[in-house]
Amino acid sequence: MTNGDHTEQPDRRPQDFASQLRRLIAVMHPPGQDPLSDRAISARVRERGGSISAGYVADLRRGIKTKPSLDHARQLAEAFGVSPGYFCDPEIYERVSLELDRIEEINRQAGNSDQLVELATRMASLQPTDRDTLAALVQRELAARGGTSPTDRPRP
């Protein structure tokens, strides 16, 4: 594998930094497009005022480098729109992982519905309180239209 290709499959529930980063790369990319290359990730970090080279991203992704600085971990998390705690806090990791699971499921169910995938991707990058607010707005709109909200449906 060379020059930023991401053909390896991410672990379903990664435990080390490399696996966590690979999962972000596999899930958090623009709808209908391939996962971001190491260069594109590095560029995203720079756009947000950080500094990390494409080579270092590749080393982290492959597990060659295993202990990035807290600042690099924060920069990578922000580049993907997730909390920096994803890499170090078990509670945040689990919460973000559930959101990644949802995005993957939407990708599977939506097929070619790029708009739906983009909406889910953007929602995943919001703070939990903002997601709750947006979910409440959607539920109110569905109720006003006479539709059912996800909380109205019976659970299996």
What is the reported pLDDT for 73? 95
Average pLDDT, integer, range 54-82? 94
Two structure tokens written together for 38:
């190491």
What is the reported pLDDT for 110? 60
What is the reported pLDDT for 119? 73
Two structure tokens written together for 39:
């260069």
pLDDT tens-digit map of 81-138: 899 999 988 889 989 988 888 888 777 766 656 666 677 777 777 777 888 888 888 8
Two structure tokens written together for 128:
């939990």
Give me the count of residues in the chain. 156
47 contacts: CB under 8 Å, gap ≥ 6: none
Q: Which residue has the tokens 């909200």?
A: 149
Q: Cα dihedral sign for 4, 49, 22, 19?
A: positive
pLDDT tens-digit map of 11-60: 445 579 999 999 999 988 766 678 999 999 999 999 999 999 999 999 99
DSSP labels, 28-51: SS-TTSPPPPHHHHHHHHHHTT--
What is the reported pLDDT for 154? 38
